[in-house]
């Protein structure tokens, strides 16, 4: 399979992206802060849950753990991500989040 960005390793992580594109680091961090911290319709715990789920789908253990810890700080239990990976429809996640979780 052809890699999307050949300069990155087979299983890149965010650190690899930062090293490969150092000029984009401030923009990436600003985007992350905007998405995760600014006012939004989805509460911060929900955003952290979505980020943990996406990170788990991408098999990034570091990001999954970081977002699961943050989600837990906002009242979302870590078992929810495990349940989402099995079946979004039956997981004990907020019903309002499920369409977004299915989309990602």
Query: What average pLDDT does range 68-89 have in this prediction?
Result: 92
pLDDT at 1: 58
Q: What is the pLDDT of residues 9-43, one digit of tens each?
A: 887 778 888 999 999 999 999 998 999 989 999 99
Rounded to two decimals, the pTM is 0.81
Neighbours of 93 (CB within 10 A): 21
Q: What is the pLDDT of residues 52-66, one digit of tens each?
A: 999 999 888 888 999
Contacts of 13 (CB under 8 A, 6+ apart): 60, 62, 63
Q: How far apart are CA 98 and CA 21, in angstroms?
A: 33
Q: How far apart are CA 82 and CA 52, in angstroms?
A: 10
On whether the CB atoms of residues 54 and 62 are closer than 8 A, the answer is no
φ/ψ bin of 29: left (φ > 0), alpha (ψ from -120 to 50), beta (otherwise) = alpha
pLDDT at 54: 94
């Amino acid at each position: 399979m052809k890699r999307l960005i050949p300069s990155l390793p087979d299983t890149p992580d965010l650190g690899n992206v930062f090293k490969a594109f150092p000029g984009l680091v401030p923009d990436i961090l600003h985007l992350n802060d905007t998405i995760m911290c600014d006012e939004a319709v989805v509460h911060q715990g929900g955003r952290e849950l979505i980020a943990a789920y996406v990170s788990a789908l991408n098999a990034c253990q570091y990001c999954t753990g970081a977002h699961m810890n943050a989600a837990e700080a906002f009242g979302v239990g870590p078992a929810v991500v495990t349940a989402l990976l099995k079946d979004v429809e039956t997981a004990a996640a907020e019903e309002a989040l499920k369409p977004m979780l299915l989309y990602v």
